[in-house]
Amino acid sequence: MKVMAFNGSPRKTWNTATLLNKALEGAASQGAETELIHLYDLHYSGCKSCFACKLKEGASYGKCATKDELTPILAKIKDADALILGSPNYIGSPTGAMKSFFERLIYPYLVYDETFSTLFTKNIRTGFIYTMSSNDAWMKQMGYDQPVRFIEQVMGLVFGMSELLIVNDTSQFDDYSKYVATRFDLVAKAKRRAEVFPDDCKKAFEMGVRFSQRQ
């Protein structure tokens, strides 16, 4: 059993990365092999609309033809048993690094037929961990959850199963007093990180446990 996680945040030790590591800890606790890939360590682009992955009888049919540092990662995904993607909310959607990765991951497998069938050859568990500093009410008012809910649907379509963990009202800074961020309640932020974020980590751990169990 191999569980792969992908960090779409440039930060390697903060909210998104912490939750992804907890998910992998959960998977490892059940004996799964795990791997965490930091997307910001890689040099790659998003989809280039070359359509080689859609060309009838083409050499790259069903796979991305672009060659860069993401290419070997995409090849490894074919052998994975579960995928967990993670990203913070940057101005209303996942980061550019995650969006580019998602384009390259998903598009080659989608078939332009009546049902948008998939060329991925097996059903695997997939998940998305989405973090944001906005609280639940602001998230819903601004619709910040909608882009990633669509991603969840597409992942389920391509890979057979998907779930979403949204962790909001997170802390962006160690010390809010050092930054211009007057819209936030510093005391409330610290209280939530101390009292609620551990429960969020537990939910991520439990996701990893579920994902390490064969369907």
Closest CA to 171 of 138, 131, 129, 133: 133
The model carries a pTM of 0.92
The per-residue pLDDT for range 74-122, each reduced to its tens digit, is 999 999 999 999 999 998 999 999 999 999 999 999 998 988 899 998 9
Q: Which domain holds residue 6?
A: 2-211
Res 152: pLDDT: 92
Report the number of distinct structural domains present in the chain: 1
Helix, coil or strand: residue 8 = coil
Look up the CATH number of the domain holding residue 51.
3.40.50.360
The per-residue pLDDT for range 1-48, each reduced to its tens digit, is 899 999 999 999 999 999 999 999 999 999 999 999 999 999 999 999
Handedness of CA 194, 195, 198, 200 (dihedral sign): negative
**Contact assessment for residue 132 and residue 140, using Cβ atoms and an 8 Å cutoff:** no
Cβ-based neighbours of 56, under 8 Å, separated by 6 or more = none
Res 215: pLDDT: 59
Percent of the chain, pLDDT > 90? 73
**Contact assessment for residue 86 and residue 29, using Cβ atoms and an 8 Å cutoff:** no
